[in-house]
Structure 1
Amino acid sequence: MPKPTRDRFDDVPRSSGRIGAHRAEAPGMNGWLVLLWSFVAALVLIIVGVFGSLVIMGRVSLFPEAVPSSTPTPTETGVVDTSYSVLILNASPDEGLDEQMRDLLVNSGWAADVVFASDSASQDFATTTVYYIDAEDELAAIGLANLIGGAEVAQSDYYADQNSTDQKQLTVVIGVDRATTTEDSGEESPAS
């Protein structure tokens, strides 16, 4: 066999005694360091998994909604204005509640000839309510509702044509919530 011809690489000194690319483990890596990195990676994966599960189940919120400050909102206290005529309708199954409320209003300063008490055609009105017609009557309605021991206040012109005087009118509909004997209440609508 013929001898290969010499080239410039034949003159390079051999220092390590190895020829070719040898891939061996880096001499600085040992078993304890690999074990430590494995432990850290497993811990991170467990924490991410637990946190992700809590987010999915809804126990942790990533972007919680802002809670409004708990500053109390002022409530209207109303004004007791005896210049209004008052129509009282008993829409509960108890007899005489309209007359009791009429006596309360007369004793509170209303003239007896501007406070009218009557039974309603309905006897299943759910909540005692004071109705007013115009927006400027709201404070007087709130004052009347507070005077009779608390009632809802609503604006409605349903009772506007029931006023035979030229005075402004408030209407009190006594509901089942004031009755001592209760029946099943139906839908809440203005009593006639």
Structure 2
Amino acid sequence: MVSYPKDRFDETPDDIERVGAHRGPKRRGRGWIGLAWALLATGALVLGGLFALSQYLGDDLGIPLFATPEEPIITPEPEETVAPLTDPTTIDPARALTIDVFNGTAESGLQTVVLDKLATEGWPVGSATNASARDIEETYIYYSNPADEDVASGLVSALGLGEIRFIEPDIFPAAPITIVLGSDYNPSSE
């Protein structure tokens, strides 16, 4: 066997733990760092490729991350319109309708003027009183039974203004139809 002569590099002091950079001990956890960089690079390449495909093919990929949001198509439900009842004498007495009038304006006595006008035209009237608020701007006709929509629409024609609104029966429990006068009502315009 061949032996080489010893030189000064063969003898190392005992207090030095490391002998050359290539022979040093590996640090703990270095494998995880390499794996993390590899996963990051792979993810970036995959996302970049998907983005490029979505630009090339359009929204045909079916990937929500890259799809452009579509505007929802809203189709309004057709409203069923009920023909207004313009002749109050044709109201069936079995319906037991009464029309109450609330005055939501600052003008006193307007509710009785409207109630008297409706009574002379033949509408089935109930009572008239002031509303709890006296600063209501628009006139509304409230009805609690869907079958009474024709009468509420007819009252809009009789008053010459107003808007009908369906309400729950427990809001005005004693009155099937309630008119709330607003400041838009002008009795002198009749």
Please indicate the TM-score interval, normalised by the length of the shorter structure. Answer: 0.3 to 0.5
Bigger relative contact order, structure 1 or 2 (CA pairs below 8 A, ≥6 apart): 1
